[in-house]
Amino acid sequence: KSYRVAILGATGAVGTELIDLLATRNFPLESLKLLASPRSAGRTLSFRGETLPVEPVAEGCFNQVDVVLASAGGSTSKTWAPKAVAAGAVVIDNSSAFRMVPEVPLVVPEVNPEAAATHQGIIANPNCTTILMTVAVWPLHQVQPVERLIAATYQSASGAGARAMEEVKIQAQQILNGQDPKPELFPYPLAFNLFPHNSPLNDQGYCQEEMKMVNETRKIFSAHDLRVSATCVRVPVLRAHSEAINLEFKQPFPVEKAREVLQTAPGVKLVEDWSTNYFPMPMEATGKDEVLVGRIRQDLSHPCGLELWLCGDQIRKGAALNAVQIAELLVEKDWVKPREVALSQ
């Protein structure tokens, strides 16, 4: 059995990675359709040596499509995902549009694959920092439930898209040329700088990105009382996020046990050489599928606390790879069609 796939947002940072992943992984692909905005009409992209046209998303374009991988922003998903579902496709949506809708599964395949079984046409791909964090924390949470999680993030420009990555490079050039860096997409200069994440703030002083980490982690873990607090910061790194994570358990969690668990955890690569201070770095996480984890140590300030550090490719596991893994999961389990549709056929 093979599947007809469409990528919505094919020209973007995540879309480009989706094309690359479909070209190199074993997904049973019958056909691939590339969709973007009318701005991209006339463009072509190459896939496995073939030249494919980029088509503007339009009414009827999801007929004859089984799986849509959408990464074109929340408002585009809100408009087009229901139309794709009505046309019979399953949509794996990378935007935040549907993540907190109760009927929409929010899936990290290493963590809660079974949640995908109940989809009704849309499956949400979580926020990138949340995906990376849950891959590393879930295996520990299985040994002993996490009571409280505190995260500080160091987030790359890619989270704001391909143009944002260009903006940092241009600003770096401007600064090296002695010019003032010009912010366009970002509110402030990012090259040689950093700033707290610029998503909208709530009344409690948390930004939207931080609240995604709180709410999405609870949903993915099915741990609705889990205490989570995050500080999200944008840093001048191109495409891998880093995170400092503090975990608090009920009982002490021996560092050796944590190391042993993470050594074999799916999607995790332990990166630690204490003799040379060699630990995960965004440059080394770039292009990798695994979340790199290291600096696992007992929290000096709390007997039941554990500290760890991680880096992961934001475009890959933080977005495109997770979406493709969800598609692979649906195929493997025969969950592409919603259960009631599958039963009625």
Residue of 119, 141, 197, 241 with catalytic role: 241
Nearer to ligand A2P by Cβ, of 128 and 146: the residue is 128
Provide the mask over 301-330, with x wherever binding to ligand A2P is found by CB under 6 A and - wherever it is not: ------------------------------
Can you tell me the distance from the alpha carbon of 89 to that of 6, in angstroms, rounded to the nearest whole number?
Answer: 10
> Considering CB under 6 A, how many residues would be counted as binding ligand A2P?
17
User: Residues with Cβ < 8 Å from 293, sequence gap 6 or more?
Assistant: 136, 262, 268, 269, 270, 271, 280, 308, 309, 310
Q: Rounded to 5 degrees, what angle do the CA atoms 129, 337, 28 make? A: 75
Nearest approach in angstroms of CB 165 to ligand A2P is 8
Burial of 86 (0-12, 13-18, 19+ CB in 10 A): exposed
Question: Which is closer to ligand A2P, CB of 9 or CB of 305?
Answer: 9
Backbone angles phi, psi at 123, to 5 degrees: -120, 135
Judged by CB under 6 A, the stretch of 10-18, 170-178, 244-252, 297-305 that binds ligand A2P is 10-18
Catalytic residue of the set 61, 128, 232, 311:
128
Query: 240, 313 in Cβ contact below 8 A?
Result: yes
Segment near ligand A2P (CB under 6 A), from 5-13, 23-31, 255-263, 331-339? Answer: 5-13
Could you say whether residue 11 binds ligand A2P (CB under 6 A)?
Answer: yes
Known active-site residue 302: no
128 in catalytic set: yes
Q: Tell me the residue number closest to ligand A2P, measured at CB.
A: 12
Q: Which stretch binds ligand A2P (CB under 6 A): 8-16, 23-31, 132-140, 327-335?
A: 8-16
Judged by CB under 6 A, which of 24, 28, 31, 39 binds ligand A2P?
Answer: 39
Angle at 49 between CA 18 and CA 76, to 5 degrees: 30
Round to whole Å and give the CA distance between 160 and 168: 11
At which residue do the structure tokens 């990378």 appear? 94
- Residue 99 CB-half CA count within 13 A: 25
Judged by the rule CB under 6 A, the positions of this chain that interact with ligand A2P are 9-13, 15, 36-37, 39-40, 57, 72-73, 76, 161-163
Catalytic residue list? 128, 241
